[in-house]
Amino acid sequence: MGERISEALHKKLTKRLSFYQDIGIGFFYRDRIPQQSTLASAETTISPAPSLPGVALPKPFQKQQPIKPAGTAPPALPRRDALPVPASASLFEAMNKVADDSLLKIRADLGDCTRCKLHRGRTTLVFGDGNPKAELVFVGEGPGRDEDEQGLPFVGRAGKLLTQMIEAMGLQRKDVYICNVVKCRPPENRTPEKEEVDTCSPFLLRQIDAIAPKVIVCLGSVAAQTLLETNRGISHFRGEWLEFRGRKLMATYHPAYLLRNPGAKGEVWKDLQKVMAVLGLQGRKGSQTGKSS
């Protein structure tokens, strides 16, 4: 017989496990031991989640593969053992793909979300917008004022620039899917805090899995660092093909950065041309082969 736990702890655990179940987590990794050599070679022990009455857990998950460069001869991504290692196992590593998930179900699971403090300042939760079967998904940081008011991602000045870039690729916004790491506007458009990202990003992961795009484009550091689980600056891997859960991932600058630094538009356009090549968009009517304006 196992050790008995208090009723208060039992309730707390039940509530926490119900939340993890909502977002598709059934098992948990034990924390890494810092002095163990590398992420790539370390054996990670999987501890089954404790069994609680009334909490039916989803099927066990497959251990996620470490990030690795995709393509035939890609520039090397810094090895994960060279990247800063989180102190404990991440939600992403603990998440399994939710069977038969859909954007509608994910939106329903989010509900009138109060899981992190960003809900206090929001007008509208900005879930995402576009083609639920898109081959191309853009991931930004979080809603700004215009997005918060309209409930749609990338509709302000930066959004207009993103729309121009999408159209320059020979696509329309309705062809792609656009979403953010956090779904509620951070006060004064500040960068989302780690706890907010950790709380909200599992829903982003489910969105990506449900859409199953061919290519993910991360717009800016927060999106890239969240999906790649690194603290390294985006300039270290911007423009390189990376892999995220079996999909091609390209990190590039955020359109808001381009508004402040128009000289960087050319770099972003080079990145998007690589995306166009993978999606077979080059030469299509509407696509521009030159530098974006």
Least separation in angstroms between CB 276 and ligand SF4: 31
User: Is the torsion defined by CA of 113, 114, 116, 121 positive or negative?
Assistant: positive
Q: What residue type is 266 in one-letter code?
A: G
Residue 275's contacts (CB-CB under 8 Å, 6 or more residues apart) are 136, 169, 215, 217, 250, 281
Closest to ligand SF4 by CB, 122 vs 274, is 122
Nearest to 227 by CA among 32, 86, 67, 113: 67
CB of 67 to ligand SF4, least distance (A): 24
Rounded Cα–Cα distance for residues 113 and 129 (Å): 18
Distance CA 241, CA 248 (A): 6
Closest CB to ligand SF4 among residues 201, 221: 201
Q: Which is nearer to ligand SF4, 39 or 125 (CB)?
A: 125
In whole angstroms, the minimum distance from the beta carbon of 53 to ligand SF4 comes to: 27
Name the minimum Å distance from CB 111 to ligand SF4. Answer: 9
Q: Nearest 10 degrees: CA dihedral of 229, 230, 235, 238?
A: -30
Closest contact distance (angstroms) between CB of 180 and ligand SF4 is 9
Shortest distance, position 247 Cβ to ligand SF4, whole Å: 22
Instruction: Measure CA of the first residue to CA of the last residue in the chain; give whole Å.
Output: 69
Extended strands (E) in the chain? 27-29, 46-48, 129-130, 136-140, 177-180, 215-219, 241-244, 247-252
* Shortest reach from residue 138's CB to ligand SF4, in Å: 18
With a CB cutoff of 8 Å and minimum separation 6, the contacts of 72 are none
| Comparison of 119 and 160: residue with beta carbon closer to ligand SF4 | 119
Binding site for ligand SF4 (CB under 6 A): 110, 113-116, 118-119, 125, 182-184, 196, 199-200
Between 131 and 199, CB nearer to ligand SF4:
199
Beta carbon nearer to ligand SF4, 185 or 248? 185
Query: What CA–CA distance (Å, rounded) separates 156 from 158?
Result: 5
Nearer to ligand SF4, 116 or 242 (CB): 116
Q: How far is the CB of 20 from ligand SF4 (least distance, A)?
A: 14
Q: Where are the beta strands (DSSP E) in 38-112?
A: 46-48
Burial of 167 (0-12, 13-18, 19+ CB in 10 A): middle
Q: Which is nearer to ligand SF4, 135 or 196 (CB)?
A: 196
